[in-house]
Amino acid sequence: MTESNSQDKNNFLYPRSRYYGKFQPENLVFNANLQEFSQRISYITCLETAGKLSQEEAYQQIRALWKQLKHSKKQLAVGGNEI
């Protein structure tokens, strides 16, 4: 696989949207974490819908991802207390 094809595959599997908020490094990092959270949730829900994961497994994985995202937000000290 050429580097171009590999990059295309990565862009397809792991899309990233542009960040339009206030420019601060911690905001950019949290935005990347939020996009990764969203992508992983999408994969988990698709696997559960297809019967590859049980509802309980999907719930536990989503719960763990949510805890990671909350920890990231706290560590980066971004936003208010809305999460």
What is the per-residue pLDDT for 6? 72
pTM reported for the whole predicted model = 0.74
| 38: Cβ contacts below 8 Å, ≥ 6 apart | none
User: Does residue 18 lie in a domain region?
Assistant: no
User: Does residue 53 lie in a domain region?
Assistant: yes
User: Does residue 17 lie in a domain region?
Assistant: no
Angle formed at CA 66 by CA 8 and CA 83, multiple of 5 degrees: 110
Provide block-wise average pLDDT over 10 residues at a time, the chain (83 residues): 69 67 87 93 96 98 98 90 53
- Contact indicator for 41, 65 with CB cutoff of 8 Å: yes
Kindly provide the b/e burial profile for residues 21-42, where b requires at least 16 CB atoms within 10 angstroms of the residue's own CB: eeeeeeeeebbebbebbeebbe
User: Does residue 67 lie in a domain region?
Assistant: yes
